[in-house]
Structure 1
């Protein structure tokens, strides 16, 4: 009851700050729950959410605000759509004969072949570890898919070949076929930091005079008789305005955490 009476004794601005923070905590808790529950395939900074359609798995998302999707069928073919562009069909199969004959260091490898129609995009070995290096049939390491933009704005790969920057790489397609790890955005830890900022602000609002006199007790005698100056009161209101927005920034930052 004392806390209720203390709340009733606050002015409108103080009550507004407390109610605003309480609402913010609840709203962001719901937003975090929804965001973190949406797990999908991490592709170029976006999350592609999987669903089942006509026996195929469709991963849907957005790239730079444009609708995009991967459709993977049960017979191991895939098509990528970005806006009105279509890439594929990509055809994947495991082939033990594709394992490099030369010894490959590190993890065990699986022989795979990836085609784009009749064109062989890759044939060789793929590591089975967390980081899947690709090895050509001769045992050499597959190019890592590094691209750069030249002065004319054209993108080229490490071999100087012109590439379409919107086309998925061999690495990305193989990851899709071999069971991508599903990830999500958002981190509950940042939500808790935001809640902590709200709690500290609420304490400073509800116990403003007590905290002031406690601080003064280190400097003067009879601190319980001290009264806050106008400058002290102005500082309180500035803090009560800034801290809730700091908490909001923490909540928002947590939603922007990279896919994990």
Structure 2
């Protein structure tokens, strides 16, 4: 406590700020990690059961979004005032791609959106990984798109794309039962805490660490006083470390 009182105002502010950072993210991380759901558009949609339906809901870009999966595996996606679907799937062995080889078996699938065929191809379940192939053998959900000056997204064929419309891979994952995931990694939280601890130690024992480093190069290092440039360097170091810790904490929540 005496050591803290002997610190300058800036050092005490950095110590307090660093402590607050750790406390805030120690609260945020458990809340984020325990919130499991279906990842869509980099947002976790949490599942709930309603009248036999599974509803994955959340907010995407500040607007309400939800996938409804009924008992018969019909999928409807609602985003703000838009509705996509209903999507229904049926097995069709003639839809299996003929020109690909896989380790597991492929199930031929036709995916319908209302009265129109939305997708036709094959699905391979390989443990936690699910591959979806078009009938021509190409991998579904891999496409190129560009954005025009009016923020309208178009595919490689010049067709207008609604960026919120779910792909066949997303829909089939929901039908087959998606793997629930979460954001946040405890290992990154530990790294952020470690950086904060380094910050605190470097402030509380600044002179001791300075002289310890010099003891390997000069004699009587315990009698050396830090220069003006050394003090400036410390302040820069103490400023950058908490900022770096915040960046690490935030990245760990992605």
Q: TM-score, normalised by structure 2?
A: 0.84
Equivalent residue number for residue 140 of structure 2 = 144
What is aligned with 1:24? 21
For residues 236 and 163 of structure 1, do their structure 2 counterparts lie closer, same or farther at Cα, with a shift above 3 Å needed? closer
1:160 to partner: Cα distance? 5.5
Unaligned runs of 5+ in 1: none
SS at match of 2:131: coil
> Any conservation in 2 of the 1:216–1:223 contact (CA below 8 Å)?
yes
The answer to whether the Cα contact below 8 Å between 2:97 and 2:133 also exists between their aligned partners in 1 is no
Instruction: State how far apart, in whole Å, the 1-side matches of 2:24 and 2:149 are.
Output: 47
CA distance in 2: counterparts of 1:11 and 1:155, whole angstroms: 55
Secondary structure of the 1:132 match is strand
CA distance in 2, matches of 1:209, 1:152: 57
Q: Distance in 2 between matches of 1:103 and 1:228?
A: 72
Distance verdict in 2 for CA 1:199–1:112, change over 3 Å: same
Question: Equivalent residue for 1:208?
Answer: 206
User: C-alpha separation between the residues in 1 aligned to 2:140 and 2:46?
Assistant: 26
CA–CA separation in structure 1 for the residues paired with 2:232 and 2:158: 63
Segment drifting more, 142-151 vs 202-211: 142-151
1:165 deviates by 3.5
Q: What secondary structure sits across from 2:12 in the alignment? A: helix
User: CA separation in 2, counterparts of 1:193 and 1:202?
Assistant: 14
Are 1:69 and 1:81, in contact at CA under 8 Å, matched by a contact in 2? Answer: yes
Q: Which moved more, 1:68-77 or 1:50-59?
A: 50-59
3-state secondary structure, aligned to 1:133:
strand
1:130-183 deviation per Cα after TM superposition (whole angstroms, max 9, x unaligned): 2413253xxx32563424238686655455655444322222211111111112
State the Cα distance separating 1:96 from its structure 2 match: 6.1
Aligned partners of 2:84 and 2:193: how far apart in 1?
Answer: 45
TM-score by length of 1: 0.82
Q: How many residues of Structure 1 are paired with residues of Structure 2 in the alignment?
A: 249
Deviation at 1:49, TM superposition (A): 1.7
Matched, 1:231 2:229: yes
Matched, 1:198 2:196: yes
Q: Which residue of 2 aligns with 1:255?
A: 253
The offset of 1:226, in angstroms, is 1.6
The aligned counterpart of 1:134 is 133
Gaps of 5+ in 2: none
The question of 1:68 aligning with 2:89 is answered no
1:110 aligned onto 2:103: no
CA contact (8 A) 2:55 2:66 kept: yes
